[in-house]
Chains A and B, each alone.
Chain A
Amino acid sequence: MELRINGAAYQVEAQADTPLLWVLRDDLGLTGTKYGCGLAQCGACSVLVDGVVVRACVTPVAGVEGREVSTIEAIEDDPVGKKVVAAWVEHQVAQCGYCQSGQVMAATALLKHTPNPSNEQIDAAMVNLCRCGTYNAIHAAMHALAQGEKA
């Protein structure tokens, strides 16, 4: 099947029900998208499909045929994603960093649809788990982004 990922076309041989996560990681070598739980519980595998954040660990690859998939590898090609990354660095969000690909994708998805989200909208969108407890740093970065501060 043909997949469109980060603006490029890829031919992959995969069973229809293979999760997108494992096609990204093992077939295409795009390992920035992380495996955390496999049950859509933690959000480490968050990617964008047609601009909407989805959890790649439970998304069958056949379901994204003909759609535009964006992963963390191309995050800075997106003007919103670029700002999110800058804010993440500025606020020194990452500790172990393992969940942060997913956090950055979730943040980018929110801000692309809602450039100036309220606190409630941030809380509703930023639900990915982080065992290092970077939640306050994420909140600070999101708050700065929501206010349109130059990160």
Chain B
Amino acid sequence: MDTFPELAKLQAGETVNLSRRRFLAGTAVGALVLGFGLPLGIPRVQAATHAERGTQVPAFLEIRPDGTVRLLSPFMEGGQGPFTAMAQIVGEELDVDPANFVVESAPPGEAYVVMENGMRITGGSMSVRMSYPTMRRLGALARAMLLQAGAEKLGVPLAELSTTPGTVVHTTTGRSIPYGELAGRAMDLPVPDPTTLKLRDPATFRWIGKPVMRLDARDKSTGKAMYCIDITVENMLHAAVQHAPRLGMTVGGLRNEAEVKAMHGVHSVHQLPGAVAVVARRWWHAKRAVEALQVDWQEAAAGATVRAMPADFSSDRWVEHLGATQGPARDEEQAGDFAATLGSAPTKVEASYHNQYLNHAQLEPPSALARFNPDGTLEVWLPNQAPDMFRDDIAKRTGLDASQITLHSPLLGGFFGRHFLYESANPYPQAIALAKAVGQPVKLIWSREEEFLRDVLRPVATVKFRAALDADGMPIALEAVSATEGPTEALAGKQGEKIDPTALEGLSGKAYAIAHKRIAQVYVKGPAMLGYWRSVGNSLNDFFYESFLDELADKGGKDPFELRLHLLRDNPRLTHLLQAVGELSGGWKRGPFTAEDGSRRARGVAMASPFGSEAAVIAEVSIENGQVKVHDIWQAIDPGSIVNPAIIEHQVNGAVALGLSQTLVEEAVYVDGMPRARNYDLYPILPPSRMARVHVRIIESGAKMGGIGEPPLPAVAPAVANAVAQLTGKRVRSLPMSRHTFS
């Protein structure tokens, strides 16, 4: 069996092989979790390379004659702001205003493996926190090279030189040279020994920690930003596909191929694994023609390489099945003696929760553009969050050497975990096959309907809680047993030797002082293909846990805010965080109370510890026309230390929106093996009318830097559910709330 340590055995200079199979095999045995919740102490990819990571300055930076700095970012921009953050971090040490940066995605390559876990992937809210020291050092190295070049040019000792933004300055004479004039020479100099560098004193930071404007704001407000779907190359044809109605089915035959070939604009008709395609001069022609194709679909053969979707699969029935599955369970977290404590406790509480499948539903439909060049090389443009993995997958599929493949990683029209290497949910293998077949570049776009048919789903779980309260009503024992399949397990196709942390995160790892606890998983392999969705396991598990904690508070006659403070009494960081969100909301008040507009309202509180950060949320709700209205969300978030408070505030807003979406309206329902919704008409995502006001407080506790893209999401759902329970007396134990009625 392939395991991750094999990576460490690679010869120097060999491509670091992050190919899907090898990689996921590694994750399945728990060696690491792909991009999410990485355990410490894993073998490091950079063992395969001699150069210290993030020191190959010319690979990252081009300083142009006009002083503009072009930075190739190891991380993809999908809205979370890494391009701007990278410019701030590098610019701070390089001494260039981030506004003078042009940032683009770096190609695949070892030079860009800059994360402290030895990987290069945009995900798990890791980009900034895992590369921060390395990217600072990169900026400092480049500045040192510019100083060296300046010393040569001015003929003065290095020690007499300093910099002001964008300029090398001779301190005694005031003579200066712009970076743009020195860059040509500077980039030819040897990269200095990083240990000789002195980084800037954080007290003197001008851009790190400041609300620097996003570099992409203007292009994204004027239609100039280019996404994969927008890219064209000369002589390019367009393609559309019709997927098999259920994953795993194959093309038996086409009933009307001749008629479709004769349709306006059609170039050719193609059969692909699990799909048919039409190539045309225009995408609209391709789409109309491919939708007109009448296909005899055949049931999946045994041993299909993708997870075959059964004809009788129902998402509702699957959740019932999970609820009825008793075991065996494997323990993820154990403390004290849960069983004995429960047995002798004066008060016991039990409850069962579940959640729903979700789609990513990013606004940009998937696309890929493939071009075979006359020299046999292949160029592919595709949305992705891990270019090396995608390039190596393409190499494997095509038989080309990785060096013959150029991978372009455009801006992503929505992130949310959609752009990982999902075997059945990416259009690039089809685009490559079509480009090969027609001998011309092909851009393939999946229509919104084809995307909803093939998107991988956020996992579902049913969780059975049992807990014990002492004579004072305080929780002393808690057990959560989740029947579920985690996304990493789904990608591996099996359970690993260790539990998939992305299955249980948010149930496990809770900071509350409850002496006796047991967190366990019943692994249930499902028929639906799963993927990562913003905040992954925390997106469901914090809803379960934090809702149940409120049930314990109610049962024990405690205020849920006070109970949390009590359970966190030995944790100053979280005590402070909880007090901060209370303060932010004007002081904790649970209600119900009557608001100024006459509506009855209540508030709920919840916390989460996702992706290295800490979050606390208070929600205020009322009931309008039988449905939940969320008026305000107050969120205090502690990522330890920060790079851009403005981007953080926007990320909190965005995560709250997605959190409200899954709480209030959103679910992927399967009936007869097919999704009920294949567009936004039947798959509602949060509209502006259901957005809440969002109030953010950022706390820099000084703890190790945590993530920002995902951490503000998980506490939203339980805070809302807890408020709803207080207002209506009805405890919601499943999402979305649109499935429930309230009065």
Contacts and interface: CB of A to CB of B under 8 A. Distances in A.
B656 A133 contact: yes
Interface in A1-53: 15, 18-19, 22, 25-27, 29, 31-39, 41-42, 44
Interface stretch (B184-192, B212-220, B271-279, B453-461): B212-220
A31 B656 contact: no
Point out which of B78, B414, B686 has the most chain A C-beta atoms below 10 A from its C-beta.
Answer: B414
B650 A134 contact: yes
Label chain A's interface by main secondary structure.
Answer: loop
B657 A133 contact: yes
A104 B217 CA distance: 12
Nearest to B265: A15
B414 A98 contact: yes
Point out which of A19, A27, A93, A131 has the most chain B C-beta atoms below 10 A from its C-beta.
Answer: A131
Contact of A88 (B221, B229, B238, B688): B221
Given A94-B214, A132-B657, A35 B282 contact: no
A114 interface: no
B685 interface: yes
A31 B226 contact: yes
A35 B445 contact: yes
Contact of B363 (A18, A33, A34): A34
Contacts of B80: 95
Interface in A36-84: 36-39, 41-42, 44, 71-73, 75-76
A94 B224 CA distance: 13
A35 to B, nearest CB: 7
Contact of A136 (B445, B687, B693): B693
Given A38-B448, A96-B412, A136-B653, A131 B221 contact: no
A87 to B, nearest CB: 9
A26 B363 contact: no
A99 interface: yes
B79 interface: yes
B229 A131 contact: no
Given A18-B284, A37-B680, A134-B650, A72 B223 contact: yes
B526 to A, nearest CB: 25
B536 to A, nearest CB: 17
B220 A94 contact: yes
B571 interface: no
A134 B653 contact: yes
B232 A19 contact: no
A96 B650 contact: no
B207 to A, nearest CB: 15
A146 interface: no
A147 interface: no
Contact of B447 (A18, A38, A94, A123): A38
A97 interface: yes
Contacts of B679: 37-39, 41
Nearest to B84: A92
Given A36-B448, A129-B363, A100 B238 contact: no
B236 to A, nearest CB: 10
A127 to B, nearest CB: 6
Contacts of A95: 79-81, 650-651, 654
Interface string B223-246: 111110110100000100000000
Contacts of B218: 85, 89
Contacts of B264: 15
A89 B79 contact: no
Contacts of A100: 220-221
A140 to B, nearest CB: 10
A73 B214 contact: no
B223 A99 contact: no
B310 interface: no
Contact of B223 (A36, A71, A129): A71
B657 A135 contact: yes
B688 A138 contact: yes
A37 to B, nearest CB: 5
A73 B264 CA distance: 29
Contacts of A128: 688
B142 interface: no
Contacts of B222: 32, 72-73, 75-76, 85, 104
B4 interface: no
B689 interface: yes
Interface string B626-655: 000000000000000000001100110111
A137 interface: yes
A121 B407 CA distance: 46
A98 B224 CA distance: 11
Contacts of B656: 133
A127 B361 contact: no
Contacts of B655: 133
Interface in B396-425: 411-416
B216 A26 contact: no
A39 B224 contact: no
A77 to B, nearest CB: 11
B365 interface: yes
Contact of A94 (B216, B362, B651, B657): B216
B379 interface: no
B332 interface: no
B381 interface: no
A45 B226 CA distance: 15
Contact of A129 (B226, B232, B282, B687): B687
Interface in B645-702: 646-647, 650-651, 653-658, 661, 679-681, 685-689, 691, 693-694
Interface in B275-308: 282-284
A131 to B, nearest CB: 5
Interface of A: 15, 18-19, 22, 25-27, 29, 31-39, 41-42, 44, 71-73, 75-76, 85, 88-89, 92-101, 104, 123, 126-139
Given A31-B229, A36-B680, A71-B223, 4 more contacts: A97-B216, A126-B688, A136-B694, A139-B688
11 contacts: A22-B283, A25-B230, A26-B284, A35-B365, A73-B222, A76-B222, A96-B413, A98-B413, A123-B689, A131-B414, A139-B688
